[in-house]
Chain A
Amino acid sequence: MLLRHTPKEVMERNALTINPAKTCQPIGAMYASLGIHGCLPHSHGSQGCCAYHRSALTRHYKEPVMAGTSSFTEGASVFGGQANLIQAIDTIFSVYDPEVIAVHTTCLSETIGDDIPQIARKAEAEGKIPKGKFIIHANTPSYVGTHVTGFANMTKAMVTYFAESNGKRSEQINIIPGYVEPSDMEEIGRIAGELGIKTVMFPDTSNVLNRPQTGKFEMYPKGGVTVGALKTIGESKATVALGQTASWPAARALDVKCNVHCELLDLPIGLKATDRFIDTLRTIAGVSVPDSINLDRGRLLDIITDMHQYFYQKKVALVGDPDQLVALTEFLVSIDMWPIHIVTGTTGKKFEAKIQELTREIPHPVNVKAGGDMFLFHQWIKNDPVDLMMGNTYVKYISRDEDIPFIRFGFPILDRVGHSYFPTVGYRGGMRLLEKILDTLLDRQDRDSPEESFELVM
């Protein structure tokens, strides 16, 4: 028993977090920055944060993750990090030559109160920023929100720094895909392409964090939204923001700045959320949905009808980030599974209300907590066991102890591949999720069934 000190009895905790279901802002900002083409993320703080964030993203994607750091020393921590950032800007442009340096902060520089735009102006005045190159920034204090907040902040910075408006409207539609995998961004882009819609997606980490092995290391891989494209988002017809926590702040900012109409949707995970996503795109763009998409939808439905008996009334426990959990809960409920324990590390009453609404018809008590941790999650499972758990790699400890089947979903996944290559969004992503759920449940049935009822055909 690896987590043998976790008692079944739930004691109220006000100060101690155990086994968090979240991490801190800057890693989300770093991830978002990598979704800009030719961009080097920069961590304005002491270098440990940068090392940790690069390592965590690398372990998740099995890809190079490059970023600079201001490498604060004790002196800079007391007197401010201006000299460090100016030197970093000089070194980075001389050696690594990015198009954009996207600066995020840490709890260190935020507590000190470093003014990044002022430092960037000083660097510019000193001639440290080559012509045609950019420095953008987002404040990402680690003691506010979570990694998803950091993602939202840096995505919003893309709007603040690049969106321009000349009052004209193009036919283009902006898509903010949310804190999802490169494979998901690719799939969202593919769906828009099938509909024949011109889109700009930001950020876009496909072909950055799932790039090919070619025998060459490219500091700035082919993927990522270009600065040129970001400059046009202010003229787009509309913005579709996927996921309230990750995408809505940027969409709202663009509406305020350039008056671009925005639609907030759930992440397109599962049948109904994907339906709404496609229906919204179709309506805004004024296009009809092609057969290829109807075909995918029909296939997803077909799996549900064919295999419904294995989903029906199976109890599931979910832990992860709020936007994913909302969409996933809706999907599971729609196939008559019972998500009964749902924990996110991100705080917010809206999340709890939304989950309660989605699970209203389940004839079984449902636990939901925003701002919870995986220690509480485990305790809930001990008190009311489930048939399946979905969450990041850390859930494997609970899975082993409690002997409950487990599907890796969310961030971080440190011990398997697939998540960066194959989507979980859209109808195709839904099919993949169903395949994973069925494989996991049926493997368990095969393992546990007595010899006489061991089935060849299922």
Chain B
Amino acid sequence: MAAIDDRSAAPEIESIDPNAVKKELLSKYPTKVARKRAKQIIINKVGDDCAAPEIGANSRAIPGIITQRGCSYAGCKGVVLGPTRDFVNLTHGPIGCGFYSWLTRRNQTRPPTLEDPNFMPYCFSTDLQDEDIVFGGEKKLRAAIQEAYDIFRPKAISVFSTCPVGLIGDDVHSVAKEMKEKLGINVFGFSCEGYKGVSQSAGHHIANNGIFKHVVGLDDTQKEGKYKINLLGEYNIGGDGFEIDRVLEKCGITTVSTFSGNSTYDQFANAHTADLNTIMCHRSINYVAEMMEKKFGIPWIKVNFTGAGSAAKSLRKIAKYFDDPELIATVEKVIAEEMVEVEKVQAEVRQRCEGKLAMLFVGGSRAHHYQDLFAEMGMKTISAGYEFAHRDDYEGRRVLPDIKVDADSRNIEELHIDPDPDRYRPRKSAEQIEELAAKGFSFKDYEGMMPDMSDGTLVIDDISQYETERMLEIYKPAIFCAGIKEKYAVQKKGIPMKQLHSYDSGGPYAGFKGAVNFYREIDRMVNCKVWSFLKAPWQTNPELAATYACE
């Protein structure tokens, strides 16, 4: 372990044995904890058929380990429904949950005019008090919905349950139903109490179910335009969605809806009229895609607009699906145009970034996607992991039949969906699907993060503060990517830290322009002067202090 404890110089990666690292990470834990963490810290080794080793994921966090995870409410209200501008998103609970999810995720929105509603800068809460906990909060919830309606006249009001709501037995769904009838607008609730499931992930599922049950399919209007797609699991952080929209528009592809960056109620209601679902964030939105396929016959494919190469690949995939020579030609033209600037900046930053190490520990999607961007800069991902992804996000959907739902997640509702008697319309015939498959086109597929990573890299699920610190000391990466809670602890160690949730107020990083932004940002960070100033002159050479200048 000599190489591990040498803190003075950047180590030679080849000399670090990942098995020794894993052993080291586990060594400080109590036996039971170590046994559990061992299943979540995996040394990657990809088999011949792209099979990755099995990882323990989506299991409960260990109390006291300092996890970075959040809760089901955050996954439901904060992530999936928060970015929709014309709902009044009402938090039913004490004030904290609403307060902390108020404008803290950078989902940009751009209403076409000042007359269009935009409630995103507001925080709505029932602000439960002790008497509501004792006597129940339904009365206050009913009154709050009424007041929200009277002041704002929104298209829809959605109610989000927080921890105590489930315990005191408030029935948010019946209150919502009652108020829907009374007010004549759509009112619906989410049972996304923070203790449901083991992470934000449960909240995604609850949000998917709710939006599908209560909104998707309510409006059959056919949107004008060719090649109609939905972009699922794109939340427009720092304008990512705008950049993707720009590229799609340039290609002549029509976006019917985005789930849910820069989205509106009407887009969700109308989403079932698209001909293809494209998934960016597999973790948070695959449920809606599956349900839309079953009910309306819309196939889905995985795309990735993070990384210029990945964006190009995804555009080609969409074009191949529609199988129209005109679209295929336009897509190629757009890619060629966009790549000019991308390649120029890529070449420039490679000179300064090539070979440097990155580590990525982000939510349930970006730890994979962003590896493409680093690879484009010549940087290597030595370790990566998710907070709350499931095995299919790590190992690929091939393992879905093997995943056992454990006791902590069993109570998350699984909707039973049947084809819509009138509106089910397979977008591709069985023969067309077969034909596409023969050309190497895969539907409903996500191969996961691990098959894309090199052998010997460490894949760590739900990384703890302690493991983070040791990984930094052992590998001394050039950059560490995670979130706000990790940021300053990492930087105090003298290592640049890029937030891949909030982008540190930067972005967009998706699409072609986003790639250029990201290259420049990472180049700035890994080559920033400040890291060379950490020691004062008198700290580096104290023994010289006693000489006189005149001697």
B contact residues around A429 at 8 Å (CB)? none
CB-CB contacts below 8 Å: A1-60 with B: 1-5, 7, 11, 13-20, 22-24, 26-27, 42, 45-49, 51-56, 58-59
Q: Is the CB of B485 within 8 A of A54?
A: yes
- Kindly count the residue-residue contacts between A and B in the assembled complex, taking CB atoms under 8 Å apart: 261
Q: Is the CB of A75 within 8 A of B95?
A: no
Q: Is the CB of B465 within 8 A of A66?
A: yes
- Report the stretch among A154-162, A211-219, A229-237, A275-283 that lies at the interface: A211-219
Encode B363-374 as 1/0 by CB contact (under 8 A) with A: 000000000000
A contact residues around B261 at 8 Å (CB)? none
Q: How far is the CB of A140 from chain B (nearest CB, A)?
A: 10
Complex: chain B residue closest to A211, CB-CB: B492
B contact residues around A51 at 8 Å (CB)? 68-71, 74, 485
Complex: chain A residue closest to B91, CB-CB: A17
Q: Is the CB of B129 within 8 A of A88?
A: no
- Report the stretch among A92-100, A179-187, A431-439, A441-449 that lies at the interface: A92-100
Q: Is the CB of B61 within 8 A of A16?
A: no
- What separation, in Å, do the CA atoms of A47 and B408 have in the docked complex? 14
Does B66 lie at the interface of the complex (its beta carbon under 8 Å from any beta carbon of A)?
Answer: yes
B contact residues around A11 at 8 Å (CB)? 147, 150-151
- Report the stretch among A107-115, A188-196, A258-266, A295-303 that lies at the interface: A107-115
- What separation, in Å, do the CA atoms of A66 and B408 have in the docked complex? 26
Given contacts A15-B144, A143-B128, contact A111 B164 (CB under 8 A): yes
Q: Is the CB of B163 within 8 A of A71?
A: no
- What separation, in Å, do the CA atoms of A27 and B141 have in the docked complex? 25
- What separation, in Å, do the CA atoms of A303 and B61 have in the docked complex? 55
- What separation, in Å, do the CA atoms of A186 and B133 have in the docked complex? 40
Does B534 lie at the interface of the complex (its beta carbon under 8 Å from any beta carbon of A)?
Answer: yes
Q: Is the CB of B127 within 8 A of A17?
A: yes
Q: Is the CB of A214 within 8 A of B62?
A: no
Does B97 lie at the interface of the complex (its beta carbon under 8 Å from any beta carbon of A)?
Answer: yes
Partner of A91, one of B62, B193, B197: B62
Partner of B194, one of A5, A26, A84, A108: A108
Does A76 lie at the interface of the complex (its beta carbon under 8 Å from any beta carbon of B)?
Answer: yes
Partner of A16, one of B28, B117, B147: B147
B contact residues around A95 at 8 Å (CB)? 28-29, 64-65, 464, 466
Complex: chain B residue closest to A143, CB-CB: B94
Q: Is the CB of B122 within 8 A of A19?
A: yes
Q: Is the CB of B64 within 8 A of A42?
A: yes
- What separation, in Å, do the CA atoms of A32 and B100 have in the docked complex? 19
Does B166 lie at the interface of the complex (its beta carbon under 8 Å from any beta carbon of A)?
Answer: yes
Q: How far is the CB of A6 from chain B (nearest CB, A)?
A: 8
Complex: chain A residue closest to B139, CB-CB: A15
Partner of A73, one of B101, B126, B195: B195
- What separation, in Å, do the CA atoms of A74 and B191 have in the docked complex? 12
Partner of B63, one of A14, A64, A87: A87
A contact residues around B484 at 8 Å (CB)? 55, 58-59
Q: Is the CB of A214 within 8 A of B492?
A: yes
CB-CB contacts below 8 Å: B113-147 with A: 114, 117-119, 121-130, 132-133, 140-144, 146-147
Does A70 lie at the interface of the complex (its beta carbon under 8 Å from any beta carbon of B)?
Answer: yes
- What separation, in Å, do the CA atoms of A5 and B101 have in the docked complex? 20
Q: Is the CB of B63 within 8 A of A70?
A: yes
- What separation, in Å, do the CA atoms of A20 and B193 have in the docked complex? 21
Q: How far is the CB of A45 from chain B (nearest CB, A)?
A: 7
Partner of A72, one of B62, B151, B195, B494: B195
Encode B19-38 as 1/0 by CB contact (under 8 A) with A: 00000000011100100000
Does A90 lie at the interface of the complex (its beta carbon under 8 Å from any beta carbon of B)?
Answer: yes
Complex: chain B residue closest to A4, CB-CB: B114
Q: How far is the CB of B533 from chain A (nearest CB, A)?
A: 9
Does B196 lie at the interface of the complex (its beta carbon under 8 Å from any beta carbon of A)?
Answer: yes
Complex: chain B residue closest to A101, CB-CB: B64
Encode A141-162 as 1/0 by CB contact (under 8 A) with B: 1111010000000000000000
Does A77 lie at the interface of the complex (its beta carbon under 8 Å from any beta carbon of B)?
Answer: yes
Q: Is the CB of B123 within 8 A of A47?
A: no
B contact residues around A55 at 8 Å (CB)? 100, 104, 483-485
Q: Is the CB of B96 within 8 A of A24?
A: yes
Given contacts A27-B96, A87-B63, A91-B63, contact A108 B466 (CB under 8 A): no
Does A397 lie at the interface of the complex (its beta carbon under 8 Å from any beta carbon of B)?
Answer: yes
Identify which of A42, A55, A59 gathers the most chain B CB atoms within 10 Å of its CB: A55
Q: Is the CB of A89 within 8 A of B489?
A: no
Q: How far is the CB of B330 from chain A (nearest CB, A)?
A: 37
Q: Is the CB of A23 within 8 A of B99?
A: yes
- What separation, in Å, do the CA atoms of A415 and B493 have in the docked complex? 24
Q: How far is the CB of B22 from chain A (nearest CB, A)?
A: 16
- What separation, in Å, do the CA atoms of A87 and B36 have in the docked complex? 13
A contact residues around B445 at 8 Å (CB)? none
Q: Is the CB of A1 within 8 A of B114?
A: yes
B contact residues around A88 at 8 Å (CB)? 63-64
Q: How far is the CB of A300 from chain B (nearest CB, A)?
A: 33
Q: Is the CB of A96 within 8 A of B494?
A: no
Q: Is the CB of B100 within 8 A of A94?
A: no
A contact residues around B70 at 8 Å (CB)? 47-48, 51-52
- What separation, in Å, do the CA atoms of A85 and B63 have in the docked complex? 7
Identify which of B98, B121, B130 gathers the most chain A CB atoms within 10 Å of its CB: B121
- What separation, in Å, do the CA atoms of A73 and B132 have in the docked complex? 23
A contact residues around B90 at 8 Å (CB)? 16
Partner of B67, one of A5, A17, A47, A217: A47
Partner of A70, one of B64, B125, B163: B64
CB-CB contacts below 8 Å: B67-101 with A: 67-74, 90, 93-101
- What separation, in Å, do the CA atoms of A59 and B505 have in the docked complex? 12
Q: Is the CB of A96 within 8 A of B466?
A: yes
Given contacts A66-B465, A214-B492, contact A111 B68 (CB under 8 A): no
Given contacts A70-B63, A95-B28, contact A17 B95 (CB under 8 A): yes
- What separation, in Å, do the CA atoms of A269 and B72 have in the docked complex? 41
Q: How far is the CB of B25 from chain A (nearest CB, A)?
A: 11
Q: How far is the CB of A29 from chain B (nearest CB, A)?
A: 12
B contact residues around A66 at 8 Å (CB)? 66, 465, 489
A contact residues around B197 at 8 Å (CB)? 73-74
Q: How far is the CB of A31 from chain B (nearest CB, A)?
A: 14
- What separation, in Å, do the CA atoms of A394 and B98 have in the docked complex? 14
Does A68 lie at the interface of the complex (its beta carbon under 8 Å from any beta carbon of B)?
Answer: yes
Q: Is the CB of A94 within 8 A of B95?
A: no
Q: Is the CB of A62 within 8 A of B133?
A: no
Complex: chain A residue closest to B534, CB-CB: A215
- What separation, in Å, do the CA atoms of A107 and B94 have in the docked complex? 8
- What separation, in Å, do the CA atoms of A235 and B104 have in the docked complex? 45
A contact residues around B146 at 8 Å (CB)? 15
Does A67 lie at the interface of the complex (its beta carbon under 8 Å from any beta carbon of B)?
Answer: yes
Q: How far is the CB of B540 from chain A (nearest CB, A)?
A: 12
Complex: chain A residue closest to B196, CB-CB: A74
Q: How far is the CB of B359 from chain A (nearest CB, A)?
A: 15
Q: Is the CB of B491 within 8 A of A213?
A: yes
Identify which of A87, A146, A375 gathers the most chain B CB atoms within 10 Å of its CB: A87
Does B284 lie at the interface of the complex (its beta carbon under 8 Å from any beta carbon of A)?
Answer: no
A contact residues around B488 at 8 Å (CB)? 58, 62-64
Q: How far is the CB of A150 from chain B (nearest CB, A)?
A: 10
A contact residues around B69 at 8 Å (CB)? 47, 51, 71
Q: Can you list 18 contacts pairing A with B, beta carbon distance less than 8 Å?
A: A1-B114, A5-B118, A15-B147, A18-B122, A20-B98, A24-B96, A24-B99, A46-B163, A46-B194, A62-B488, A68-B63, A71-B61, A73-B198, A91-B65, A106-B163, A111-B133, A111-B163, A141-B133
4 smallest beta-carbon distances between A and B, as pairs: A48-B71, A88-B64, A24-B96, A15-B143
Kindly list 13 other residue pairs between chains A and B, CB separation below 8 angstroms, not including A2-B118, A71-B67: A3-B122, A15-B141, A45-B194, A46-B194, A51-B68, A54-B485, A59-B484, A62-B488, A70-B63, A71-B69, A74-B197, A95-B466, A106-B163
**Interface positions of B (Cβ within 8 A of A):** 28-30, 33, 60-74, 90, 93-104, 114, 117-119, 121-130, 132-133, 140-144, 146-148, 150-152, 162-164, 166-168, 193-199, 407-408, 411, 464-466, 469, 483-485, 487-494, 534-535
